[in-house]
């Protein structure tokens, strides 16, 4: 025993040293923190927010990290990143890095996040963002990246008149069928927060001065939309990007209106809580809605009013299922036989987890995991064989077999899973994670690819060839192909509330309202065709591709519904009689195959409308695909180029000149009268 004692002591000492080394290695990961040390200047209000990022690169072995952010400003201003309107990304605030792997941390500061009470026109204010990266659970070992920023306040009031005009948008307004100029037409040139106007002269020419500005955040120039409204004509809409000291020409060819629409509210429900998401069966017979992100109510009020609602297309409430808490998770199977939702863990009278119901409201199965996950995304496969569920706390994703009622596979994605889509044949499932990646898994669980899109998807849509994604950071909208390659990415102003792809994939729609973002139509090449002047929290596009239903709000807090055509012309609009109680509204919108019915769910209100779209004497069918925004082929016939100057003034001048020449010649040739003595 005495011989073994020294060896045992040595072994214990060695074990302690190794453990200490391991702890030191975990506490002191080998990282490179990459960020721009230059001071960024943001011009208010030309910039719609302040946004910075930091890249963390792992130079050592596998590490698990946490991060936080703090914002410091004038007069002792301090705000933690988790108190921002959009907390820093990734979400949750963890980084799981393999050797050599990098990850971006995004900090987004909306103007309402800052105390603007002391801002004065023409003054500048400094703000510092400290991003701290540290081993998971050990903030004392943080590495800090300090990002320097200045906000230069151009104007706090009368914004349009207080900024410098350094560019022009000009062109001709004319009748497309006759090629004749249209005089005294008002032309609007606007962004999401600034509006400028001009009028056409007798030749149809307009010229509007605007401020051109290159955004600090993404390096993209502020985009404007040119709009012309004239009685008897369709609205003209075209996007344009002015540059400093530039002159951007946009000719406006107006076409006669030949269609109209009318809808009336048949049934209206107040569901008490903010209707965050809804879904419909493929045949549009059934619709389900779930509440989420309600503000201004007590937890008790929310618990008493939190239900999953199930309606038929006629506006009849078939049943409601008590949830006791809010959830964004709701999905109706293609055949309308199944409904999936979730209940979060709050010590509620109802068991937490994924709840699978039949279309009578009966609970068929409840799935619960042992990792403490709340589920905020559920999706039933097209065949009803599978259900995919995404966790919001840690980032676990599950594929469940609905027949066997068991887990097929589980994957850790490193961030909250907030959007899931199945391929039409259920061979692939696409999942968006809070680590900023979209993942594509085969149905057997093998990873096909992953593509970085900044953050978890707040809006995601799939077509036969593409996936359209808007990440929660609101930096870009991405179009991916089915191999995970980025076809294009376009800078935007804010996160989308809704995105969609046209049935023929000729164009895409992005609906948003925050931070100056507006509903926008892109073509498949990534070119912005036009955007609207009012924000929208949702939309739906007819499956024949001719019409887009857009739902947003007014400055008075009312609900504004618009039906526009492919070119942005408003066929019908109505401000509904409700002043919304809850300012957060994601909206769910639906239009029937024959165009006679609409369903609009926004804020706490649900509307069922009936009407029609008419063209001369013919009613136009207007169909949609399940739960997605889809639309029409682009205009392929080029606009006829108008003359640089209309011909009639030139002809008039020539005729007058000829008349003068004729009279002059007559008098020159006339013999003088001889005088007699």
For the stretch 569-604, pLDDT in tens is: 999 999 987 766 555 556 678 888 778 999 998 888
Q: pLDDT grade, residue 58 (50/70/90)?
A: very high
> In terms of domains, do 144 and 207 share one?
no
Give SS3 for 662: helix
Structural domain contains residue 227: yes
3 state DSSP class of 463: coil
Yes or no: say if 623 and 542 are a contact pair by the CB < 8 Å rule: yes
Q: Tell me if 362 is assigned to some domain.
A: no
Non-local (6+) Cβ contacts of 600 within 8 A are 549, 551, 559, 561, 587, 588, 589, 606, 607, 609
Distance CA 96, CA 408 (A): 24
pTM of the model: 0.85
Q: What is the pLDDT of residues 176-185, one digit of tens each?
A: 999 999 999 9
pLDDT at 255: 96
Residues 68 and 143 placed together within one structural domain of the fold: yes
- Measured between alpha carbons, how far is 438 from 227 in angstroms, rounded to an integer? 36
Query: End-to-end CA distance of the chain, in Å?
Result: 166
Identify the burial level of 369 via C-beta atoms within 10 angstroms of its C-beta, where 0-12 means exposed, 13-18 middle and 19 or more buried.
Answer: middle
Question: What ranges in 287-412 are assigned the alpha helix state H?
Answer: 299-305
Q: Which of 153, 182, 211 is the last residue of a domain?
A: 153
* DSSP-assigned beta bridge partners for residue 610: 264, 597
pLDDT digits (tens, 9 = 90+) for 609-656: 999 999 865 455 544 433 333 332 333 333 334 444 444 444 454 555
Find the domain containing 73 and state its range.
26-153
**In this structure, are 195 and 228 located in the same domain?**
yes
- CATH number of domain containing 104: 2.60.40.10
Is 472 domain-assigned? no
pLDDT score for 310: 98
Between residues 180 and 667, the one the model is more confident about: 180
DSSP for residue 533: S
Q: Which of the listed residues 195, 225, 257 is the one where a domain comes to its end?
A: 257
Q: What letter would DSSP give residue 594?
A: B
Predicted confidence (pLDDT) at residue 502 exceeds the cutoff of 50: yes
Q: Are residues 133 and 188 in the same domain?
A: no
Give the mean pLDDT of 426-447. 97
Lowest mean pLDDT among 273-277, 528-532, 657-661: 657-661
Residue 141 shares a structural domain with residue 191? no
Give a yes or no: residue 146 inside a domain.
yes
Confidence (pLDDT) at 587 = 63
How confident is residue 661, by pLDDT bands cut at 50, 70 and 90?
Answer: low
Residue in the structure block whose two tokens are 């540059």: 243
- With b meaning 16 or more CB within 10 Å and e meaning fewer, what string describes 627-660? bbbbbbbbeeeeeeebeeebeeeeeeeeeeeeee
d(CA 8, CA 1): 10
Of all helices (H) and strands (E), which one includes residue 49?
Answer: strand 49-58
CA distance 468 to 454: 13
Residues paired with residue 377 on neighbouring β-strands, in sequence order: 390
Which helix or strand (DSSP H or E) is residue 103 part of? strand 102-110
Determine the average pLDDT of the residues in 150-176: 88
How far is Cα 191 from Cα 211, in angstroms, rounded to an integer? 11
Rounding to the nearest 10 degrees, give the CA dihedral for residues 284, 285, 290, 293: 30
Neighbours of 488 (CB within 10 A): 14
Tell me, yes or no, whether 117 and 140 share the same domain. yes
Give CA–CA dist 135/28, Å, rounded. Answer: 7
Neighbours of 342 (CB within 10 A): 28
What single-letter DSSP state applies at residue 221?
B
Please tell me whether residue 224 adopts helix, strand or coil conformation. Answer: strand
Mean of per-residue pLDDT scores for the chain: 86
Report the pLDDT value the prediction gives residue 579, as an integer from 0 to 100. Answer: 65
Domain count, the chain: 2
> Would you place residue 113 in the very low, low, confident or very high pLDDT band (cuts 50, 70, 90)?
very high
Q: Are residues 47 and 129 in the same domain?
A: yes
Same domain flag for 246 and 171: yes
Assigned token pair, 397: 């994703």
Mean pLDDT of 469-495: 94
CA distances from 108 to 84, 186, 372, 515 (A): 8, 37, 28, 11
Number of Cα atoms under 13 Å in the Cβ half of residue 427: 5
What DSSP state is assigned to residue 295?
-
Same domain membership, residue 228 and residue 133: no
- Among residues 96, 128, 153, the one where a domain terminates is 153
- Asked if 53 and 106 touch (Cβ cutoff 8 Å), the reply is yes
Indicate if the pLDDT at residue 217 is higher than 90.
Answer: no
- pLDDT (0 to 100) of residue 11: 43
CA–CA distance, 251 with 240 (Å, rounded to integer): 11
Look at residue 77 and tell me if it is in a domain: yes
Considering the domain architecture, whether residues 36 and 115 belong to the same structural domain is answered as yes
**For residue 47, how far is the Cα from the chain centroid?**
18
The answer to whether position 411 is within a domain reads no
pLDDT, residue 645, reads 43
- Integer Rg of the chain from CA: 30
Assess contact for 95 and 127: CB atoms under 8 A: no
Is there a domain that residue 437 lies in? no
Q: Which residue(s) pair with 177 in the sheet?
A: none
φ/ψ of 442, rounded to 5, equals -65, 160
- 541 and 509 Cβ atoms separated by less than 8 Å: yes
Residue 132 and residue 172 in one domain: no
Backbone angles phi and psi of 641, in degrees to 5: -75, 120
Strand partners, 129: 71, 147
Q: What mean pLDDT do residues 66-72 have? A: 97
Give the pLDDT of residue 164: 80
Q: Name the residue with tokens 């800090």.
A: 144
Identify which has the larger pLDDT, 364 or 157: 364
Pair 180, 142 in one domain:
no
φ, ψ at 571 (rounded to 5°): -85, -35
pLDDT value, residue 83: 93
| SS3 assignment for 137-196 | CCHHHCEEEEEEEEEEECCCCCHHHHCCCCEEEEEEEEECCCCCECCCCEEEEECCCCEE
Neighbours of 662 (CB within 10 A): 9
Look up residue 464 and give its DSSP letter: S
CA–CA gap between residue 92 and residue 122 (Å, rounded) = 38
| CATH code, 224 | 2.60.40.1120
Looking at per-residue pLDDT, the higher value among 236 and 6 belongs to 236
Whether 140 has a pLDDT exceeding 80, the answer reads: yes
The contacts of residue 505 (CB under 8 Å, 6+ apart) are 463, 464, 465, 466, 524
Backbone angles phi, psi at 661, to 5 degrees: -65, -40
**pLDDT tens, residue by residue, 541-572:** 888 888 999 988 766 677 889 999 999 999 99
Specify if 248 maps to a domain. Answer: yes
């Amino acid at each position: 025993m005495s011989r073994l004692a020294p060896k045992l002591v040595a072994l214990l000492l060695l074990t302690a040293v190794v453990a200490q080394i391991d702890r030191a290695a975990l506490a002191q990961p080998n990282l490179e923190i990459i960020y721009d040390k230059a001071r960024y200047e943001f011009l208010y209000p030309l910039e719609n927010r302040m946004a910075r990022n930091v890249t963390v690169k792992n130079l050592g072995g596998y590490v698990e990290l946490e991060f936080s952010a703090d914002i410091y400003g004038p007069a002792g201003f301090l705000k933690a990143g988790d108190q921002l309107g959009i907390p820093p990304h990734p979400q949750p605030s963890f980084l799981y890095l393999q050797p050599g792997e990098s990850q971006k941390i995004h900090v987004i500061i909306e103007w309402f996040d800052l105390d603007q009470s002391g801002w004065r026109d023409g003054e500048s204010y400094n703000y510092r963002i400290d991003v701290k990266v540290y081993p998971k659970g050990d903030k004392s070992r943080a590495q800090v990246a300090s990002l320097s920023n200045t906000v230069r306040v151009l104007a706090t009031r009368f914004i349009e008149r207080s900024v410098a005009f350094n560019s022009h948008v000009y062109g001709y307004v004319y009748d497309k069928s006759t090629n004749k100029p249209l005089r005294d037409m008002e032309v609007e040139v606007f962004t999401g927060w600034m509006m400028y106007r001009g009028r056409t002269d007798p030749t149809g020419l307009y010229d509007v001065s605007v401020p051109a500005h290159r955004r600090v955040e993404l390096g993209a120039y502020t985009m404007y939309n040119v709009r012309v409204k004239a009685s008897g004509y369709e609205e003209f809409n075209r996007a344009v990007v002015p540059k400093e000291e530039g002159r951007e020409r946009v000719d406006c060819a107006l076409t006669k209106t030949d269609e109209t629409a009318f809808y009336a509210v048949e049934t209206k429900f107040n569901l008490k809580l903010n209707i965050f998401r809804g879904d419909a069966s493929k045949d549009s017979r059934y619709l389900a809605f779930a509440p989420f992100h309600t503000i201004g109510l007590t937890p008790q009020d929310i618990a008493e009013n939190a239900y999953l609602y199930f309606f038929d297309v006629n506006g009849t409430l078939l049943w409601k299922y008590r949830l006791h808490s809010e959830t964004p998770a709701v999905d109706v199977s293609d055949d309308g036989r199944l409904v999936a939702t979730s209940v979060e863990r709050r010590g509620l009278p109802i068991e937490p987890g994924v709840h699978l119901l039949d279309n009578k409201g009966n609970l068929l199965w409840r799935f619960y995991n042992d990792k403490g996950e709340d589920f905020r995304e559920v999706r039933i496969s097209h065949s009803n064989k599978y259900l995919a569920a995404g966790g919001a706390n840690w980032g676990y994703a599950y594929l469940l077999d609905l027949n066997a009622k068991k887990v097929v596979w589980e994957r850790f994605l490193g961030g909250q899973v907030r959007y899931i889509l199945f391929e039409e044949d259920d061979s692939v499932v696409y999942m968006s994670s809070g680590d900023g990646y979209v993942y594509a898994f085969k149905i057997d669980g093998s990873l096909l690819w992953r593509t970085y899109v900044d953050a978890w998807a707040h809006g995601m849509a799939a077509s036969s060839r593409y996936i359209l994604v808007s990440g929660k950071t609101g930096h870009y909208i991405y179009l991916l192909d089915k191999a995970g390659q980025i076809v294009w990415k376009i800078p935007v102003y804010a996160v989308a509330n809704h995105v969609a792809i046209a049935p023929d994939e000729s164009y895409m729609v992005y609906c948003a309202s925050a931070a100056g973002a507006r509903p926008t139509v892109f073509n498949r090449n990534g070119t912005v065709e036009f955007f609207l002047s009012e924000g929208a929290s949702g939309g739906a596009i007819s499956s024949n591709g001719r019409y887009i239903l857009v739902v947003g709000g007014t400055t008075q807090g009312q609900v504004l519904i618009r039906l526009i055509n492919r070119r942005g012309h408003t066929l019908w609009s109505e401000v509904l009689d409700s002043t919304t109680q809850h300012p957060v509204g994601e909206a769910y919108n639906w239009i029937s195959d024959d165009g006679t019915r609409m369903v609009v769910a926004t804020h706490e209100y649900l509307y069922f409308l009936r009407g029609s779209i008419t063209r001369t004497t013919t009613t136009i069918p207007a169909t949609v695909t399940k739960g997605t925004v889809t639309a029409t082929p682009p205009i392929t016939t080029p606009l006829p180029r108008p003359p640089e100057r209309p011909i009639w003034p030139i002809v008039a001048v020539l005729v007058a000149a000829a008349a003068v020449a004729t009279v002059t010649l007559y008098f020159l040739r006339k013999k003088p009268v001889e005088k007699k003595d």
